[in-house]
Structure 1
Amino acid sequence: MNGQLFISLLNPGIGLLFAVAFFLLWLNRRERYVAYAAGAYTATALAFLIQDVGPVLPMELQRLPANFLFLITGVLFAAAIIKRYALPVPWRTMAATVAISIAVFLWFLLASPSIAARILSISIGAGIIAIMVVVALWPIEKRHLIDRVLFWVAAISALNLIVRPAVLLSLHGGFDDYVGFQQSLYWTTVQFSQAMVSIAAAISLMVAVAVDQIAELRREVDADNLSGLLNRRGFETQAATALRRCLEERRSVALIIADLDRFKSVNDNHGHAVGDAIIAAFGAHVRLIGPAEMVAGRIGGEEFALLLPGAGIEAARQLAEAVRTGLAAACAGRIPASLCPTASFGIAIGAPGTGLPALMHEADQALYEAKRTGRNRVRAFAPKPVRSANGG
């Protein structure tokens, strides 16, 4: 195998390896964006094989499927990144970009032959598709390092596709034939830069897949399947983080602890299936009316906790009352019509230096007061007045 053939097989080999890797990942996760990535690397491998290894057709027509596949590579990889964030994929805009690029390519292949113009038509088209990824990812919150890496991979890819050919062609002055083109500094640069970008993009997306897998496993570990809320472990972890952030940012924060009234009696008299239905209805009701930032969990058999970043006492009281008054309606159709479930609520407000255990203790005290004064009501924690030293 001579050196030129080895270089020609480098990008197809990289593409096929990553296509297989993403296909195996897709078999495990069944996420559509992973399948798009597998398709993208299959397309790029085929494109380089047709371009560098395949037979030469009359009028260099083998260039048409090769460059079409280069554009499809960009489309599928853009779709993979955008779809990972559950954003709408701009299929129509990308299809129009591909169609225009191919039309311009055909013109400079058949009507007015120009290798330089054909290079620019495909590179600029692929660059525009990469820019669509940058535009889609620009406004979203990038919580993890890998989110920023994916953004910059797309940005660098767009820059590489648009600026590189313009600079190198202006320095080189064009090509007379494909023999000169494939032996040129430009094509060597393309093969090297494409290999680097392909590897960087694949590794970045694989890390993103791993991050998503870990997050999914963490959600499963932290979830309470019956209520659809967090379990105690998940609630305490997320609530402690949210509470600390609120206190650092000097934002108000409230904690509500709720307890289903006479729940043991419900289980004893109506069966555990009815008790489970009430818990499921409570969780669904809370998820429906709770604010977006709320951290909600089932922290005991029939006990729930809701942390409300940015909420003061009145906002917390309004939510607690909405949950309390809407519980019976939320349970309708799930439990016997004669049964009217109720819940009691305790509220505490975070103060500077307050940790989650202390805040939960205060909310528990308020909950105890709601139970003591008749149940099915909301009470807020009120610190006991401190007596003076002389007892006055």
Structure 2
Amino acid sequence: MTGQLFISLLNPGIGLAFAAAFFLMWLQRRERYIAYAAGAYLATAIAFLFQDVAPVMPMELQRLPANIGFLATGALFAAAIIGRYGLPIPWRAMAVVAALSTAVFTWFLLGQPSIPARIYAISVGAGVIALMVVRALWPIERPYLIDRVLFWVAALSAANLLFRPIVILSVSGGVDNYVGFQQSLYWTTVQFSQAMVSIVSAISLMVAVAIDMVAELRAEADGDPLSGLLNRRGFEAKAGAALRRCADAGQPAALLIADLDRFKSVNDTHGHAVGDAIIAAFGAHVRAVGPAEMVAGRIGGEEFALLLPGFAIDGARQLAERVRTGLHTACADRIPASLRPTTSIGLAVGAPGTALSALLRDADQALYEAKRAGRDRVHAFRPAPIRLGATA
């Protein structure tokens, strides 16, 4: 194998390897954005094979499918990154840009042949598509390092596509024919820069997929599938972390413990399917009325805990009343019309630094008082008064 053929096969080989890797990952997760990534690397492999290895066609027509493949690569990889975040994919805008780039390229291939003009037509089109990724990701929160890496991969790809042709062609003085083009400084930089960009992009997206898989497994381990809330282990872990943040910020925190009233009787009378429907409705209701910073979990069969970072007694009581009074409406379309489920709620508020175990104990005591007072009510924990005589 000659050195030139080895270089020509470098990018197709990288593309096919990563296409296969993403395809295998897609078989495991069936996420559409992973399939887009596999398609992007397959398209880049086919494009480079047409460009460097395929037989020469009349009027250099093999260049047309090759550069359409490069544009498809950019569009599919943009769809992969944007799709990972669940954002709308600008298919129509990308199609318009690709069509315009292809039309300009075709004109400078068949109508008024010019290799530099064709380079600019495809580079600008692919660069604009990369900028669509930057625009889509710009306003969203990027909590992990890999999110920032993906953003900057898109930004640097756009800069590379838009400015590298101008710089290289200005320095090298342009290309007059394809014999010179294959040996030119420009094409050498394309071969190696594209290989590096492909590798970095693929590794970055693979790490993102791995993080998504870990997060999904963690959600399955820490979540309660019936209520859609956390299970006890997940609640205690996230609530403990939230309380530590409250302590660092000098903020209080409130804890609600809600228990579905006479739940065993509901199961015995109406069946477990109705009981499950009430639990599912309660979880959906809590998620709908609770603030974004709330940590909510199902910590027992019909018992739920809601941690409210930064909440004092008044705000916590208001939310508890909204949870209590809205339960029947939340369940209305899921259970028999004759059934009116209720909940009792115990409420405790802790100063900055209060441990979760203390809040749970106090809120559980308040819940006991609410049950003893007749159920279907909110009761706030009140510390027992100190008797001076006993202290003395």
Using structure 1 for the length normalisation, give the TM-score.
Answer: 0.95
CA distance in 1, matches of 2:56, 2:92: 32
Distance 1:90 1:271, change over 3 A: closer
Other-structure match for 1:356? 356
CA distance in 2, matches of 1:159, 1:57: 32
Q: Quote the offset at 1:143 in angstroms.
A: 1.2
Aligned pairs for 1:289-368 within 5 A: 289-368=289-368
CA distance in 2, matches of 1:362, 1:284: 26
CA deviations on 1:265-289 (whole Å, 9 max, x unpaired) are 3334444333333222222222232
CA deviations on 1:191-240 (whole Å, 9 max, x unpaired) are 00100110111111111111111111111111212222111111111222
Bigger Cα displacement from structure 2, 330-339 vs 229-238: 330-339
Distance 1:252 1:132, change over 3 A: farther
CA distance in 2, matches of 1:253, 1:139: 30
CA distance in 1, matches of 2:133, 2:39: 17
Residue type at the aligned position of 1:349 = V
Other-structure match for 2:217? 217
Distance 1:102 1:350, change over 3 A: farther
CA distance in 2, matches of 1:156, 1:358: 51
Aligned pairs for 1:1-392 within 5 A: 1-387=1-387
CA distance in 2, matches of 1:274, 1:387: 48
Bigger Cα displacement from structure 2, 275-284 vs 88-97: 275-284
* Conservation of the 8 A alpha-carbon contact between 2:243 and 2:353: no
Q: Quote the offset at 1:9 in angstroms.
A: 0.4
Bigger Cα displacement from structure 2, 378-387 vs 9-18: 378-387
CA deviations on 1:275-306 (whole Å, 9 max, x unpaired) are 33322222222223222332211001111011
* Conservation of the 8 A alpha-carbon contact between 2:244 and 2:353: no
Bigger Cα displacement from structure 2, 152-161 vs 367-376: 367-376
Q: Quote the offset at 1:24 in angstroms.
A: 1.2
- Percentage of pairs with the same residue: 74
Q: Quote the offset at 1:387 in angstroms.
A: 4.9
In the alignment, structure 2 segments of 5+ residues that lack a partner are none
CA deviations on 1:107-145 (whole Å, 9 max, x unpaired) are 222232221121111112111111111111111111111
CA distance in 1, matches of 2:271, 2:174: 82
SS state at 2:88 partner = coil
SS state at 1:19 partner = helix
CA distance in 2, matches of 1:167, 1:273: 68
Q: Quote the offset at 1:316 in angstroms.
A: 1.8
* Conservation of the 8 A alpha-carbon contact between 2:22 and 2:38: yes
CA deviations on 1:9-28 (whole Å, 9 max, x unpaired) are 00001001111111111111
CA deviations on 1:335-369 (whole Å, 9 max, x unpaired) are 44443322111112232111222222222222122
Bigger Cα displacement from structure 2, 227-236 vs 314-323: 314-323
CA distance in 2, matches of 1:182, 1:296: 62
* Conservation of the 8 A alpha-carbon contact between 2:246 and 2:352: no
Distance 1:333 1:164, change over 3 A: closer
Q: Quote the offset at 1:389 in angstroms.
A: 7.8
In the alignment, structure 1 segments of 5+ residues that lack a partner are none
Q: Matched residue pairs, number?
A: 392
Distance 1:350 1:139, change over 3 A: farther
Bigger Cα displacement from structure 2, 365-374 vs 259-268: 259-268
SS state at 2:274 partner = helix
CA distance in 1, matches of 2:177, 2:337: 83
CA distance in 2, matches of 1:278, 1:356: 27
Bigger Cα displacement from structure 2, 254-263 vs 66-75: 254-263
Residue type at the aligned position of 2:174 = G
SS state at 1:293 partner = coil
CA distance in 2, matches of 1:368, 1:185: 79
Residue type at the aligned position of 1:258 = A
Q: Quote the offset at 1:63 in angstroms.
A: 0.9
CA distance in 2, matches of 1:247, 1:57: 71
CA distance in 1, matches of 2:14, 2:266: 63
CA deviations on 1:149-194 (whole Å, 9 max, x unpaired) are 1111111111211121111111011011111111112111110010
CA distance in 1, matches of 2:92, 2:271: 55
Distance 1:5 1:335, change over 3 A: same
Residue type at the aligned position of 2:10 = L
SS state at 2:306 partner = strand
CA distance in 1, matches of 2:171, 2:265: 85
Bigger Cα displacement from structure 2, 298-307 vs 341-350: 341-350
Cα-Cα RMSD: 1.9
